[in-house]
Structure formats: C-alpha cells, structure tokens
Amino acid sequence: DHVMRLVGAAGSFDIQLPDAYFGQVVTRFPPEPSGYLHIGHAKALLLNDYFARVHGGQLILRFDDTNPSKEKTEYEESILADCSALGVKPDRIEWTSDYFDVLLEWCEKFIRDGNAYVDRTPLEQMREQRLHCVDSAYRSQSVEENLRLWTAMKQGLPEAHGCCVRAKIDMQSKNAALRDPVIYRLGGMSGDADHGGTQIAHHRTGTKYQVYPSYDFACPIVDSLEGVTHALRTSEYQDREAQYIWMCRTAGLRCPHIWTYSRLSFVYTVLSKRKLTWLVEHGYVDGWDDPRMPTVRGILRRGMQVDALRAFILSQGPSRNITFQQWDKIWTTNKRLIDPVAPRHTAIARHEHWTAELAGLEALPEWQQRTDAEPVLRSVPRHKKNPTLGNKALVLGSQILIESDDASTLAGGEIVTLMDLGNARVEYMDAAERKLGLRFLPDDKDFKKTKKLTWLTNGPELVIAELIQYGYVLSKEKLEEGDDFAAWAVENDASKRIVSVWADMNTRLLSVGSFIQFERRGYYRCDQMWLRDGDVIRFIEIPDGRIE
Ligand code: ATP
Ligand code: MG
Ligand code: MG
C-alpha cells in the first residue's frame, strides 16, 4: 500500500527486474563505512529497497569494509541511522569482513587452480602494462611459488612487501576490466612500512588479517554466498560486468543478475566522500548535516520529505543516462507534498517593519470581552484549505507591525486586507517615521482588488525567529574533467543568508522537524525550537523549486 502510494507520487515509470519471482528477490545495498551517506547512496538504497519490497523479497545492508584505513564504526552507526531516517529497514545486516576467512580460501583456490597469481610489479608499471595489454613478468610464475608468496603475504612477512594477487583473466581483452584485476592486497601501514611501521587496524577484525580482498573480488563472491538474486550497479561499472561474472563462474558459484542504473549527480554539487570531507574540514559548511550538504542528513535537515526523494528516484527509473539533475525538480516534488499539510504562520522582518495604529477593533466580539490581563485572541484556521490541521491563535491589538516592502507601497485612503482579520482603510502615512494609521472596516468584505498584508500585533506575544536561506556550495553548475572543485567552492557566509523576524506566538509550539509556511515568504523547517522566554526559534528555508 505504501509502495503503491509512492509509485503514484512518482508518476509514470517503468522499472522491472528480469527473472524476479515473488518472494524470491534478494537485493543488497553495500556502502563502505567510510563516510556519511549522500543522495547518490540514497538512490542506491531506495532502489534496492523498492525492488525488495515490490517483489516481497529481502534487502541486505552490507557494510563493505575491506579498506581499514578509511573505515570506522562511527560511520556504520551513521549509515544505520540514515537508513532508518529514509524509512528503510534492511532485513539483514552483513559485513564483508565476516567473510574474510572464506575469501582467503577462495583466493587460495584461485591460485591453486592457476586462476590467480602473486604479482610484485610496482604499481605504476602495472598500470602501464594494463593500459598496453602487456603481461606481467610474474604472470607465468609457478603455482608453488605463488602459494609460497601468498603464505608470506598472509603472514605479513617482509618478503611479501609490494605483492598483490591478481586474477588471471585476459591481458589482451578489449575490456580493460578483464586485464588481470587485483583480487587481494596487503593492508595499509601507518608510518614507514620498510622500517617497522605499524599495521593499520581494521575496525572489526583488528590486526588479525594482513591481507584484504578487493571490491572486484569480494563483491561477486559475497553477493553469491548471501543469496543475492539481483545486484544493482551503477553504469560506470558496466565494463566490469564481465569481470563480475568471471569471478562467480571461476569460484563455481551462482551468478546474480546484474541490473544497471545511472549514477546520480546534481548541478552545483559534489557527491564524493573525499570532496564532501574537504568542504567540512575547510569550514565551507558547518558540518556533515549542514543543509547545503547533499548528505542524507543535510537534505533532510533542509526539509526534504522522504516520499519526495523516493518519488524522484523511482521516477528516474531505469534511465542509464548520466546527466546532471536540477535541484528544482526534486524540490518541486517536495513542495507538492508539503504544501497541503504545512500550517501557515506569519513572520515580519524585524529591522524593516512599519508600525500601524489600528482603530476600530471595538466592532469585534473578542475585543469587547477583553480584559487587561490577557491578550485578545481570535481563533483562525492553520491552513485555509486543510481544516484537519485545526486552528491557531491570532493576537489582536491596536498596534500592529507590517512589512516595510508592503507598507511603503500604500497610499492614504487605500483599502487593504489584513490577513485573517479583514479590510482596513489607510488613514495616514508617515514614511519618515515608518508609521501609518489604519481603520478596520468590519463590513467591507470585498477582497478582490485589495493588497493582502501579513501583519502581527506588537506585544509580548511576539517571538523572535531566525530564517536561514542557503545557496549552493559550488559556484559552477557542472564541474568538468580536470576542474579543481576547491576553486569553485563558495565561502561559508556567502552561501547563507540569515534574516531576523518577528513570528506569531503559535510558532512556540513547533518542534524540531516541523515544517510550516510563513505566508508570502515560503516553506520552512524548524531547526531549533522554542523552550523558554528569550529563545530564538531557528527555521531553515525549504527550497520550493522556483528558480531564483
Ligand atoms: P563515494 O565516491 O561518494 O565515496 P562510493 O561509490 O565509493 O561513493 P560506496 O559506499 O561504495 O560509495 O557506495 C555504496 C553504494 O552506493 C554503491 O552501490 C554505489 O554504487 C552507490 N552509489 C554511490 N554513489 C552513487 C551515486 N552518485 N549515484 C548512485 N549510486 C551511488
Ligand atoms: Mg566504494
Ligand atoms: Mg566513489
């Protein structure tokens, strides 16, 4: 039911897996715990989750932890939290590191069967040779010698220094991914490896293993062992499909279906852990959950609804074109979801307001019953088109605040509409003092041609709030090959605008994560709530997809 609702939200699209039998589909999302999830990972996660759910199958969350120098338990925790923030509940959680013993055995079998060899060609040279289809000098080394060096590698003996294990596939292949990829390598060392440097500990297995499998080797084997039926991979991996199949076949294992989808990228955005880390570490943003960050935390904090994200991703369907997406498209979807359910509130810029004396309130029954001790309140709907949101309190008073942009356009004698109250006539204007006089006209119900003014009664019920509007972290729309992204990063303060406003008293009831509309301003997510007198409420502007 939930899925169908989402499919509806996504519009028409067509994504199908081959050979997907109900109840028998197993997909997996394999993040490396080396950073926070970003919107590209969210695409991978939500697609895998979608296929598992729609086919009544299972989703595996697998920590692909084969590189101890970059991985941390802290990142695993953030990934779990982000999955649940995205509404995804994996059926199983696995770690590639739980397969280290199994993978060692498979590597050894590859060597014994003549399907892998130990190479000690220096890295640069290996790259050159691979580029020009040149065999390594070690390619025809005997199985005995390979096994001896493999044993030395596993023990971390000095003799094995500079060695790696390569699958023996096809150095002449047109597909470079088949030119003997590395399947096992030595773990990293901190300090000087030649002179007693220390082995970098793996966050789960410590220093138990001296060697680690490559992704190219571990992924197909673990996919197969875990019963994955459909392995989703981004299209830059398409060249590696043949290699993936070779690994499974050579290991004598069932080969999952590979389903290719396009990598997600956005304009004015970087989506690589390395670059995102750089932005955080150099203070271009205020942290991993900064609303400018394309991280799951960042976009949720900026007010993205999970359903909007899901609809956007599913609507891209099976497209394999790698194109830059515009942010306004996804924010427009988001706006459509929040507009009907976001309560309406009022905010007036603090340093740019005018003060109006409002006469004639005596006509209102609420005013006639006023006492000096209590503010005069009127109950008005939170959302004119959605009565299920209930009512809010409108404070009435004879001195009100109006936006200066509005006030400065008025003329004496003009009839205006005070939102939620009714029409009033401008009795005088004093631009120098930013003051005007208004007379409430309870019987004038003609709202067709009047200017609609947002306003707040001046008094102790006013709440101070901070509205933050964020821009992009990059000043270049599409980075090209060879561009130094750091040169296009926008200084922190230059991509953030803060406006101090007076807000209506109802905003005191909002909690972190509530989303609202400030009438005539836009949509906002409450980022810091009001707890006690003197607190400033913080709101983050939710982009609404209109290009600015
Ligand atoms: P990064 O370059 O940001 O570190 P990664 O691909 O190395 O990303 P992983 O943790 O290995 O990060 O990725 C987990 C899964 O998410 C993989 O299946 C990967 O293909 C997928 N993924 C990563 N980035 C994107 C993206 N931009 N669009 C779609 N899928 C992505
Ligand atoms: Mg990776
Ligand atoms: Mg990457």
The alpha carbon of 484 and the centre of ligand 1 are apart by a number of angstroms equal to: 21
Ligand 1: does its nearest atom lie under 6 Å from the Cβ of 399?
A: no
> What does the pLDDT read at residue 16?
79
Ligand 1: does its nearest atom lie under 6 Å from the Cβ of 240?
A: no
The residues facing 269 across adjacent strands are: none
Residue 195 one-letter amino acid: H
Ligand 1: does its nearest atom lie under 6 Å from the Cβ of 273?
A: yes
The alpha carbon of 272 and the centre of ligand 3 are apart by a number of angstroms equal to: 6
For residue 238, give both structure tokens: 């398409």
Q: Whose CA is nearest to atom 25 of ligand 1?
A: 40
Fold of 344-457: Ribosomal Protein L25; Chain P (2.40.240)
| Digit-coded pLDDT (tens) for 407-461 | 999 999 999 999 999 999 999 999 999 999 999 999 999 999 999 999 999 999 9
Q: Give the contacts of 278 (CB within 8 A, at least 6 positions apart).
A: 486
> What is the phi/psi pair of residue 219, to 5°?
-60, -55
Ligand 1 atom with least separation from CA of 234: 20
Ligand whose nearest atom lies closest to the CA of 273: 1
- pLDDT, greater one: 20 or 179: 179
> What does the pLDDT read at residue 87?
97
Q: What does the domain layout of the chain look like in residue ranges?
A: 100-214, 344-457
If one residue of 41, 43, 64 were mutated to test the ligand 1 pocket, choosing by the most ligand atoms within 8 A of its CB, it would be 41
Range with lowest mean pLDDT among 187-196, 257-266, 428-437, 440-449: 187-196
> What does the pLDDT read at residue 195?
58
Tell me what the mean pLDDT of segment 231-236 comes to.
91
Tell me what the mean pLDDT of segment 249-262 comes to.
95
Q: Whose CA is nearest to atom 8 of ligand 1?
A: 272
Ligand 1: does its nearest atom lie under 6 Å from the Cβ of 204?
A: no
| Digit-coded pLDDT (tens) for 538-547 | 999 999 988 6
Torsion sign, CA atoms 354, 359, 364, 366: positive
The alpha carbon of 67 and the centre of ligand 2 are apart by a number of angstroms equal to: 10
Measure Cα distances from 52 to 17, 92, 319, 535 in Å: 10, 12, 19, 45
Ligand 1: does its nearest atom lie under 6 Å from the Cβ of 263?
A: yes
Ligand 1: does its nearest atom lie under 6 Å from the Cβ of 32?
A: yes
CB 514 within 8 A of CB 521: no
The residues facing 348 across adjacent strands are: 502
Ligand 1 atom with least separation from CA of 35: 4
Cα separation, 430 vs 536, in Å, equals 31
For residue 496, give both structure tokens: 């953030």
Fold of 100-214: Glutamyl-tRNA Synthetase; domain 3 (3.90.800)
Measure Cα distances from 133 to 123, 142, 178, 385 in Å: 15, 21, 10, 68
ipTM for the predicted complex comes to 0.95
Q: Label residue 373 by pLDDT band (50, 70, 90).
A: confident
If one residue of 50, 234, 262 were mutated to test the ligand 1 pocket, choosing by the most ligand atoms within 8 A of its CB, it would be 234
> What does the pLDDT read at residue 322?
67
Cα separation, 186 vs 67, in Å, equals 10
